[in-house]
Chains A and B, each alone.
Chain A
Amino acid sequence: MPKKLAQILEEKGLSLNQEYGKRASNEVTDREIKRSPTPRGQNLKDLYLSTLSSTTVDFTYWYTRKWNELDGEVMVVRRATALKHAFSNLTPVIYPGELLVMAKERYYRGSFPMPWLSEGYFLAKTSDLYKAALDSGGASADEVSHFGSGGGNVTKSVGNVVSIAGKFGIRNTEISALSQLANEWVGRSVDDLGHKYERMVPEYPLKEQLMRSVICMFDSGYTLPQGREVSNYYFPLQYGIGGLIKMARERRGEVAGESGGDGLIGMDRLYYYEAAGLVLEGIQAWIRNYAKEAWRLAGCEKEPAQKREYEEIAECLEWISENPPRTFREAMQLTYAVHLAVINEDCISGYSIGRLGQILYPYYEQDLEAGRITREKVLELLECYRVKFTCIDSFASAGVVGGVLSGNTFNNLIIGGLNKKGESAANELEILILEASMNCVTSQPTISVLYDEKLPEGFLLKATECTKTGTGYPAWMNNRVGMEYLIKQFSQEGMTLEEARALAIGGCLETTPGCWHELTLNGRKYWIPGGCAQTAGSGVHFISNPKVLECVLFNGYDHRAKAQVFKPHNKNLETFEEVVEVWRDYYAQAVAVVNKCANIEHDIWRKHNMAVFNSVLKPDCLIKGQHVGNLGYRYNGTFIVESCGTANFINSLAAMKKVLYDDKKFTIEDLQKAVLDNFGFKTAEEVGSYSLAAQEKRSEKDDYDELYSALLMAPKYGNDDPYADDILKDYEEWFCDMATKYLSLYGLNLSASQISVSSHGPLGAVTLASPDGRLAGTTYADASMSAYPGTDRNGPYALFNSATCWNHSDSQNSQMNLKIHPSAIMGAEGVRKLLDLTRAYMRRGGFHIQYNIVDSQVLKLAQAKPEDYRDLLIRVAGFTQYWVEISKPIQDEVIARTEYEATA
């Protein structure tokens, strides 16, 4: 009977022991902190947990219909008019018990496709979708309510519901319209136009091969062209939507016919202000339609309390459709409406809320003083807020939504950090945000603490207590490291120390510039932060470090795809230095061509699908009179080169250096043969698990065992061992510098980004065995500074030392996940220990750390019986997601992560 890897290693005196510290009890240990929301919060959360991810083509249709009528119109005006039409025709739906209302579409967890970005998937699947629509129509009503596992994912077509990409459900009566709409965008979408022109890049064949081999995870410009940025709510809060419309009309008149001294784009200001006014009118109409619906429901409602609630909702919406908000509730509703409007105008994931507690604090403070609100009511509203954000879905391409994002939308709420003057920015409202997040545990918004030594201890302990609940938030980011990065990268665009203090995190982990605005409320002034930069998560997405190394081993050839990816290097790889040199050359080739193609895609996007409403919100568009594509934002040097698989890559280099070049125990040819044969193991797909420990030998033969053992025993990253850590340092210095050699379409240099999100799953799936001992198809280590499961043997502080051997402020981010057994941090003392652990990493210069507080046994139980764990949340890499909605490779990877039963 062929053995499992774990057994083989035990026999050799090695262990894939994925626990550090004292052995945990065999009894399953649950998370310690369990709190409950208010009854209203619980009802709304329960509604979400029973809701299916649903899509419709209503917005898509209205947008396309109006767009088609405006052939020949100035592009930004055409887009704004189409958006106005779509927003104005969205169907408002309000649910009993809601206090905060509105949604992307007419479902509780709704979304819609945007074929103007990419229509290819729908066309490719048209016949499948039609067949599903016809086949499933005869099922009974009962069957309709029982879908497969996967939480809210519609994993298969049933009844009158058709599954799209195993995630979204659509009514079968809309399939014809979906197909018609997709066809109308053929040749006109950002994808199609981008593809037409990127093929003019001489090196394009390499790019195509990189995508086929999945060395690069996905294209930037037509999948998620915006997002991984931070919102700015200042203008609607200060002026109201009516005030902004008036401003746009006035400015339109001032600039009409004037170049302003700019012969290139000065005249565009007229069209920008016209477009701004149009899209604002559409959003205003949308809010007013919700107000009308609330009045209608109030008119029909017999139950007095519910009737009054509908009336309050209507009054709130009517007011904010025109005026600046007066109260905390109005401000919260307006910011939510604004947020939805932005993520409806484009395909966006990772549109961060920013520092909500600091932005809404003026309203909170004054409402409390005036007796208009109580802390209990604020808590209830914050719970409603959490549920509404969790309802946000994003309809991007299947490979992006499932493969990279795990269905998450990354609405990041930031707390802590510094204010404009460099003092602690933490406040009482942020404490309530933490309380609500512990009471009403949902995946959104995720929370991030900008850790700074100036933050009060009580605040930090409260945030740590929240982390201890096990939801994975807040994650912790190093404020000073982030500020240092901003000054390095954005000084060329005028970044100052004062402005660097306004930093926030776009998406899950993209350090991004912010700015300060002075909000006036009832004569009192408050400096509030907000975003002012482009997407910080676009450019070159997820180049697979281990897969590029695989190409080095095989002279540029990908054995899985059976294709020559890179030109053969024809070197014998006789020295370690030669391996590194070829790897860097191949990597740079990949970055160069993907960057060129991404620039073209984004250029098409900014010409045909530019942000209009986001270009109203973000400074300095309203002042300059230019949208995002014309450098309207204050900071534009945000594009990145993103890596994946760092730990496996470093470990592979260390193993090769030790075994092949220092000890000279084996040759490169021995390694090549073994890798191709997966070291004698079955593939992950054959085994049905993507975790290393579960892998099985194909037979009793031990042809590669000695080589394999030597590779596994080689020094590994994460143990404070300079042998591996020096390789990491060398790599990081090269990677962070290399990224800056490339320019985005905006003429500004890229920077390095090192997060995995969920890409370590699909990228691992297409990679052969790697020299560090990872087997074919298994998931890479998550994040960038996380150790590969089972290889960090010297405790968390050793891991921290390894991770901080390089300067994290040279990169936009770094990412570290730790899994801690609940027993290691019990009680108040446990909170203190966890904070000390976080602080230790921050003080060593680590940029980011996040925690899973969970017993791995719980995860295994949840994998076996997902229906019993619908509301189990875990932290993947930068986001918290429902366990049942995560793919199996990622589930296996999270289970496999080293579990710390001690924090010292």
Chain B
Amino acid sequence: MATCTPLNCKHDDCIHLATIDVAKGICHLTKKTVLIDTPICPKFAPLKKCGNCKNFQKDKTDSNLGVCAAEKHLPWTYPDLIAQSCAMYQAG
């Protein structure tokens, strides 16, 4: 997955979604159940994920892996990892 943009973001990239399971969630704004893999709405607000962090470096061969440059030893990570509690997160 490339870094989330308005063109490819999903509902589970949005802070307003309470994910129920791997297919769907409840939107806190509308209180409706939405399928994750359907188009997002104008009220989309990005959830902090490794994939949208400035410190994230994409893997050259696998778009679902990357490296965290916030740490000196450059641990691997993955773009979909939620970083809401990560002290080193910087919006990309």
On A, residues with C-beta under 8 Å from B are 47, 50-55, 58, 61, 65, 68-69, 88-91, 93-96, 106-110, 141, 144-145, 154, 159-161, 169-171, 173-177, 180, 285, 289, 297, 300-301
Contact = CB atoms under 8 A, between A and B. Distances in A.
A170 B23 CA distance: 9
A175 B21 contact: no
Which of B20, B23, B26, B86 has the most CB atoms of chain A within a 10 A radius of its CB? B23
A89 B75 CA distance: 16
Given A54-B22, A69-B75, 12 more contacts: A50-B20, A53-B21, A58-B82, A89-B85, A109-B21, A144-B36, A160-B22, A160-B36, A171-B80, A173-B1, A174-B64, A176-B65
Interface in B18-56: 18-24, 26, 28-29, 31, 35-38
13 contacts: A58-B82, A61-B78, A61-B81, A96-B31, A106-B19, A108-B21, A154-B22, A159-B23, A160-B36, A169-B23, A177-B81, A180-B76, A285-B85
Contact of B85 (A88, A109, A297): A88
Contacts of B73: 69
A55 B21 CA distance: 8
Contact of B65 (A107, A161, A180): A180
Contact-residue bracket for chain B: 20 to 34
A159 B37 contact: yes
A887 to B, nearest CB: 22
Contact of B35 (A94, A108, A144, A300): A144
Which of B12, B79, B81 has the most CB atoms of chain A within a 10 A radius of its CB? B81
Task: Label chain B's interface by main secondary structure.
Answer: loop
Given A96-B26, A176-B64, A169 B21 contact: yes
A50 B80 CA distance: 24
A171 B64 CA distance: 11
A141 B79 contact: no
A65 B80 contact: no
A174 B78 contact: yes
A175 B65 CA distance: 10
Contact of B23 (A47, A161, A173): A161
B90 interface: no
Contact of B21 (A51, A61, A174, A176): A51
Contact of B19 (A61, A93, A176, A300): A93
A562 B36 CA distance: 49
B78 A176 contact: yes
A52 to B, nearest CB: 4
A52 B65 contact: no
A95 B21 contact: no
Nearest to B64: A176
Contacts of B81: 58, 61, 177
Contacts of B21: 51-54, 107-110, 169
A144 B37 contact: yes
Given A144-B35, A159-B37, A160-B37, A173 B20 contact: no
A310 B29 CA distance: 14
A650 to B, nearest CB: 45
Interface string B56-80: 0000001011000000010111111
B64 A177 contact: yes
Contacts, number: 103
A169 B19 CA distance: 13
A61 B49 CA distance: 14
Closest 9 CB pairs of A and B: A176-B64, A52-B21, A169-B22, A177-B78, A54-B21, A54-B22, A91-B82, A161-B22, A108-B20
Which of A65, A90, A176, A300 has the most CB atoms of chain B within a 10 A radius of its CB? A176
Nearest to A139: B37
A317 to B, nearest CB: 15
A289 B85 contact: yes
Nearest to A140: B37
B17 to A, nearest CB: 9
Contacts of B75: 65, 68-69
Nearest to B77: A61
Nearest to B48: A91
A176 B65 CA distance: 7
Nearest to A297: B28
A833 to B, nearest CB: 43
Nearest to B16: A300
Nearest to B65: A176
Given A96-B28, A173-B1, A106 B82 contact: yes
A95 B26 contact: yes
Contacts of A55: 22
A176 B18 contact: no
A107 B77 contact: no
Given A141-B37, A177-B78, A89 B23 contact: no
A156 to B, nearest CB: 13
Contacts of A88: 85
B23 A145 contact: yes
A51 B35 CA distance: 12
A173 B78 contact: yes
B86 to A, nearest CB: 7
A107 B20 contact: yes
A612 to B, nearest CB: 20
Contacts of A65: 75, 77
A154 B65 CA distance: 25
Nearest to A175: B64
B37 A173 contact: no
B11 to A, nearest CB: 11
Nearest to B12: A171
B22 to A, nearest CB: 4
Nearest to A172: B64
A176 B22 contact: no
Nearest to A64: B75
A141 B22 contact: no
A98 to B, nearest CB: 10
A600 to B, nearest CB: 32
Contact of B18 (A61, A90, A94): A94
Contact of B22 (A58, A96, A171): A171
Contacts of A107: 19-22
Contact of A174 (B16, B20, B26, B80): B80
Nearest to B68: A65
A177 B59 CA distance: 12
Contacts of A145: 23-24, 35
A175 B24 CA distance: 19
B71 to A, nearest CB: 9
B38 A51 contact: no
A171 B62 CA distance: 15
Contacts of A297: 28
A850 to B, nearest CB: 31
A55 B23 CA distance: 11
B4 to A, nearest CB: 11
B2 to A, nearest CB: 11
A177 B20 contact: no
Contacts of A174: 64, 78, 80
B85 A173 contact: no
Nearest to A55: B22
